[in-house]
Structure 1
Amino acid sequence: MIFIGIALVVAVGLALLISADAGSMVGLTQAQTAQLVPLLVILIVIAGGVFTRRRKASELMGSVLLWVGIFGVAALTYAYRDELTNVAARVAGEFRPEVAVVDAEQGLATFRRGMGGHFEINATVNGHTTPMIFDTGASAVVLTIADAEAAGIDTDGLAFTIPVSTANGTGRAARVRLDRIEVGGIVRERVVAFVTEGGALETSLLGMTFLETLSRYSVTQNSLELQD
């Protein structure tokens, strides 16, 4: 019971600190500090169950330090949750470079360079996930015929009359307009694109008809940034 009483006293003390915005000293807002009060009370009550047992002084001190450490880690994790989320996303990007690390507030999508040396991107074309390669040398978004069909484009009615040069040599393409394309949370509609004949292209390309609509795109040694 004594620890429940202590928990209530601590909760009242924290409530007074919240009113003075004491949480700002550790980077917390008043609302965030208030949300920590129930957590602290719960931890103290749980710890009370440990302390009420008869233990040696060394064991008791060890338990105290353990719970102080647990609460400290919980508080720091909560206070820096946004930064930790960004770190986790950055680590995930190293393992899945085709998936964007998105900063929604800035409208920024960041991709890591893939093992093959290219920036491989998972775009969404007309609701279909389409693997693409970032290519400023492509004058337009270019789809393989398979990706075009998966995106719901009727390729049977296309006229492949535009000569194009690809890594596989020369070929022909048809001009289309994509209803919707999304890359890393950045959405564009009615984007001009080309669809190549079968075998002319192995992977679709994210070219200039999308890139030129951005406010900025930049490439560093191992990262690509696209800004809405």
Structure 2
Amino acid sequence: MIFIGIALLVAVGIALMISADAGSMIGLTQTQTAQLVPMVVILIVFAGGLFSRRRRAAELLGAVGLWVAIFAAVGVGYAYRDELLGVVGRVTGELQPGVAVVDSENRTAEFRRGFGGHFEIAATINGHTTPMIFDTGASAVVLTRADAEAAGIDLQGLRYTVPVSTANGTGMAARARLKNIEVGGISRRNIAAFVAEDGALDTSLLGQTFLETLGQYSVSQNSLLLRD
């Protein structure tokens, strides 16, 4: 196993040389340098077997096969890393509704449709994690009283004078202002919102006062994409 470990270290070193195009310093191209990796591994392992009388040929070949399989798996995983990350993100979205798959490079956040048919959103309002439902029909971000209180909004000073339509029917809401709201890494400050009166709303809604600040949002069959 010592020789196999040495072979691994040597192979890693050669791989680093390939990425830096170090082979050109000794007259080899990147392709030629890459071909050295399996050759060096095999030579070192077999050399180790010659110096070790206790190791049988079958064990030696088994060890070689194991390391070849490990290198192959690592190579395939690296080559398809972007696709694998996408798969992991989708699985996470299915198992944890409301959790965004964030693409920092493209400045997007993707959510998967929940089992109830809605797009559940784990938003952060004034530093507090708030479960919400994506709702293009809501003219503003609408919070339940419990979520508003948890987000630090002063409920005592609210006046419930604005009629709103919810899944529970028509209710009344009060105007409020959110210091900060963050959804899937997309942050906005000073967003207008409503706080629904007690019992008028089961879950807070992510409405137009946030959505209209986005560069784009789109809905497919099972995916919601928000773009900063």
TM-score by structure 2 length? Answer: 0.80
Tell me the equivalent position of 1:224: 224
Alignment-mate amino acid for residue 201 of structure 1: L
What CA distance in whole angstroms lies between the structure 2 residues aligned with 1:6 and 1:131?
51
TM-score by structure 1 length? Answer: 0.80
What's the % identity of the aligned pairs? 63
Change (3 A) 1:113 1:50: farther
Change (3 A) 1:157 1:10: closer
How big is the shift at 1:79?
Answer: 4.3
1:54 aligns with 2:54: yes
**SS across alignment from 1:146:** helix
Tell me the equivalent position of 2:202: 202
1:22 aligns with 2:30: yes
CA contact (8 A) 2:49 2:60 kept: no
How big is the shift at 1:89?
Answer: 1.6
What CA distance in whole angstroms lies between the structure 1 residues aligned with 2:170 and 2:215?
32
Alignment-mate amino acid for residue 110 of structure 2: T
What CA distance in whole angstroms lies between the structure 2 residues aligned with 1:8 and 1:208?
56
Alignment-mate amino acid for residue 176 of structure 1: A
Tell me the equivalent position of 1:146: 146
Tell me the equivalent position of 2:162: 162
In structure 1, runs of 5+ residues without a counterpart are 27-36
How big is the shift at 1:76?
Answer: 3.1
CA contact (8 A) 1:4 1:48 kept: no
Counterparts in 2 of 1:1-228, with a 5 A limit? 17=18, 18-19=21-22, 20=24, 22=30, 48=48, 52-228=52-228
Alpha-carbon RMSD: 3.2
Alignment-mate amino acid for residue 216 of structure 1: Q
How big is the shift at 1:167?
Answer: 1.2
Tell me the equivalent position of 1:29: none
- Deviation beyond 6 Å, 4+ runs, structure 1: 1-9
In structure 2, runs of 5+ residues without a counterpart are none
What CA distance in whole angstroms lies between the structure 2 residues aligned with 1:71 and 1:216?
42
Change (3 A) 1:72 1:167: same
What CA distance in whole angstroms lies between the structure 2 residues aligned with 1:222 and 1:162?
33
How big is the shift at 1:55?
Answer: 3.8
Residue-pair matches, total? 212
Tell me the equivalent position of 1:32: none
CA contact (8 A) 1:119 1:134 kept: yes
What CA distance in whole angstroms lies between the structure 1 residues aligned with 2:179 and 2:50?
62
CA displacement 1:29-64 (0-9 Å, x = unmatched): xxxxxxxx9xx98xx68x958983534433322221
**SS across alignment from 1:156:** coil
CA displacement 1:183-210 (0-9 Å, x = unmatched): 0000010000000110011100000011
What CA distance in whole angstroms lies between the structure 2 residues aligned with 1:211 and 1:56?
67
